[in-house]
Amino acid sequence: MKNLWSVSEFTQYVRHRLEGDDQLQQVRLRGEISNLTLHSSGHWYFSLKDSESQVSCVMFRSAQKGTRGYVPRHGDEVEATGSISVYPPRGSYQLVLSAMMPSGEGDLHQQFLILRNRLQAEGLFDPFHKKAIPEFPLKIGVITSPTGAVIRDILHTLRRRWPATELILIPAQVQGKEALPSLLKALEIMTTQVKPEVIIMGRGGGSLEDLWSFNEESLIREVFNCPIPLISAVGHETDFTLLDFVADLRAATPTAAAEVCTPNQSDLYRELSNLSQQLTHQLLQFTEYRRQRLDDLSDKLNQSIERVILQAKHTLLIYGTRLEELDIRTVLERGYSIVLKSGKKITSTETLNSGDQLSIYLASGSLDAEILKIHPESHEKIK
């Protein structure tokens, strides 16, 4: 064993041994707060004492979410959870706290955990059962105290973001013995008579005991069976109730609840303006494209028409030439003649007799003739 230690070596050794002892980690103590200092850094320094002893404690700012909104006061009886540590500059041990609540709430917290685990095992908190929150609700129901800050915050938010919606308040007690039946009755009215598109149920912050009505099993089961999407807005951001787990959506504050179930009209106006500009730009592009397309088609049509006209002219020229070749005058000019008897064409000698009077038409002029003799032989001798 080392015979001579420096103070720092000894302190570090003690610290190592204390912090390495599992029995001294996550220790739960009950005691009275004294020597409280709420430092400007945000850290809390105080002692926990009973009638015979005291222990130094520190709760760093980063750990204070473990108080669920509770701020300690001198003389408060509290239940604290923390781990042992040594502060080397003074060589003193202290309890570094991770959670703290007023005395008595520890039992409630245990009840909370037991009920939460049981309901979770039944599937009441399963995301599969969560209903979608409507994007553009025109009818919102609120269950809360009619005189608290919750309804004022929600009204202010709705007027700013989405004034088109209708808000219907069903007043309810949110604390005390009458809170549970009041909340259940309000929820029944909402689902059977008002029938909004979404329900906000909430209240302001408070201790675990203050918020306990939102942990009652009967309320949790009614919310689970509620056919209308429901948003939980109970307490502050650090407060959690079983209603938060069973609700279709949990909002950190009542203002956040009003925001998550409504669009922001300013954002919609900007989006519509952007869409309008995009549509105008696309229409102009489409129009210009169509104009260009029409120009191309017009050129192709004109070219096609010209080709058709040229083809038609060529065809007409061919037919004209053929017709000209078949014209009777052209035939006569080639040395042929037309023979008529009594105004009728003669194509065979079978209809003629000697002495018949004939009219003969040539390319130039005509003459009258009388048949002297008929020759029925073939005209193949003609050259």
Residue 199 pLDDT grade (very low, low, confident, very high; cuts 50, 70, 90): very high
The number of residues making up the chain comes to 383
| Residue 284 located in a structural domain | yes
What's this model's pTM, rounded to 2 decimal places?
Answer: 0.54
For position 200, which CATH number holds? 3.40.50.2300
pLDDT surpassing 60 at residue 49: yes
Residue 382 pLDDT grade (very low, low, confident, very high; cuts 50, 70, 90): low
Q: Residue 85: which of 34, 10, 24 has the closest Cα?
A: 24
Whether residues 94 and 177 share a domain: the answer is no
The residue segments making up the domain with residue 297 are 266-326
Whether residues 258 and 114 share a domain: the answer is yes
| Residue 1 located in a structural domain | no
Whether residues 123 and 253 share a domain: the answer is yes
| Domain termination residue (choose one: 103, 130, 146) | 103
| Domain termination residue (choose one: 229, 263, 297) | 263
SS (H, E, C) 282-330: HHHHHHHHHHHHHHHHHHHHHHHHHHHHHHHHHHHHHHHHHHHHHCHHH
Strands (E), the chain: 27-38, 44-49, 54-59, 77-87, 92-102, 139-144, 166-171, 198-203, 230-234, 249-250, 338-341, 344-345, 357-361, 366-370
As for how many domains the chain has, the answer is 4
pLDDT tens sequence across 19-44: 888 888 888 898 988 899 999 988 99
Residue 381: per-residue pLDDT? 55
| Residue 242 located in a structural domain | yes
Q: Would you tell me how many other CB atoms lie within 10 Å of the CB of residue 17?
A: 11
Q: What mean pLDDT do residues 265-272 have?
A: 81
Whether residues 19 and 97 share a domain: the answer is yes
Helix (H, G, I), strand (E, B) or coil at 42: coil
- The string of DSSP letters for 130-152 reads PPPPPSS-SEEEEEE-TTSHHHH
Whether residues 341 and 300 share a domain: the answer is no
